Amino acid sequence: MSPFQILKLPNGQTVGNRIAKAAMEENLADRDQAPSRELFRLYQAWADGGAGLLLTGNVMIDRRAMTGPGGVVLEDERHLERFRQWAEIARSGGAQVWVQLNHPGRQTFANMGQQSLAPSAVALEMGSFSKLFAEPKPMTEDDIEDVIQRFARSAALAEKAGFTGIQIHAAHGYLLSQFLSPLTNRRTDRWGGSLENRARLLLSVIEAVRQAVSPQFCVAVKLNSADFQRGGFDTDDARQVIEWLNEQPIDLLELSGGSYEAPAMQGEARDGRTLAREAFFLEMASELASVARMPVMVTGGIRRLPIVEQVLDSGIDMAGIATALAIEPSLVRHWREGRHSEPQLPPIRWKRKPLAALANMAVVRFQMARLSRGRKPHPEVSALWALIRDRLYLSRRTRQYRQAMDV
């Protein structure tokens, strides 16, 4: 299948081609946690780049629950005009632009002074890096209901701002993913135990979001094909959840994998094994796509046009590209013009896997920061320098966040 074919979604909307800019955490909010001029400049580069769908990085539904101190928050109308500007810029090239809505749950950094909420009091296990994360507090019924309504409210605000859809993040070990996993969800009430109970929060969020937005507004879900942790959410669980999602008005299902503890989305399994260098989750996604009645997208390491074509020929409807578009934002347009570019970052082979994962994220953010200032990416940047720079930046943003929140 040609990557440049139009994709028709279940709600009647169309995507101009089969390539999406997958979500990456930009950490480029202004001091009010609103979209910044730097974020506008970054999305202008991607809007001009030719992808049919642009998925934003994490947009938080609660400023008290952040994945990082430079994250954007959409919980009320106080900065709605900034979101309108962001949507207008991102849509200027004709792409669908969807806001990725998220709640971190237990994947909350301790130095931000937040109360970490989770299905159960199960802390992250990352060796000496575990202390970086706040001790999670089990959520009450009121906490759960608040989260459901926050997802719905943020989705309605995204539509009001002019975005064409939202994506509910239920992967990568964040809150909705935590509820799905028996490793992190040890509840004995209606939100835990059986897979049906563990999936209840995700399905409740989808129902609330759909009631809050119009039928033509796109609603997508990002789901792990597996957690890559022994005893965790696995492919059989994913297959059953997809069968339940088939009964929901979902316009696109993105399949990925991993969490902070097992960063499979960066090419690493929990035991340190390196996954295939491109299309990490293609084999599992192809199997799961046969169950799904909605279009399916797979993300994970894709950077070459032949791999995109392989993904589409396997029965997947869209290919999501992340890091490669931080290095070469016009990659899709270049492919359409016949240029066979293959952007890639040098591999980071540090022995301490959690540190290597942080460095990998820092190198990617370094590229996005350069684009946000109107500069060209620098893929050959030293991973150590990028990590030091990233830690200093996040430290400064953390102090600003704590001051703003009076923590």
Q: Where are the chain's structural domains? A: 7-343
What does each of the 407 residues of the chain score in pLDDT, given as a tens digit?
Answer: 899 999 999 999 999 999 999 999 999 999 999 999 999 999 999 999 999 999 999 999 999 999 999 999 999 999 999 999 999 999 999 999 999 999 999 999 999 999 999 999 998 887 877 888 889 999 999 999 999 999 999 999 999 999 999 999 999 899 999 999 999 999 999 999 999 999 999 999 999 999 999 999 999 999 988 766 777 788 899 999 999 999 999 999 999 876 676 554 444 433 333 334 445 567 778 888 899 999 999 988 889 999 999 999 999 999 999 999 999 999 999 999 999 899 999 999 998 888 898 899 999 999 999 999 999 999 999 999 999 999 999 999 999 999 999 85
CA dist., res. 379 & res. 363, Å (int)? 8
Phi, psi of 64 (to 5 degrees): -85, -5
CA dist., res. 215 & res. 205, Å (int)? 16
Write down the CATH number for the domain with range 7-343. Answer: 3.20.20.70
**Where does residue 266 rank: exposed (0-12), middle (13-18), buried (19+ CB within 10 A)?**
buried
First to last CA, the chain: 53
The SS3 assignment for 133 reads strand
The SS3 assignment for 7 reads strand
CA dist., res. 71 & res. 94, Å (int)? 25
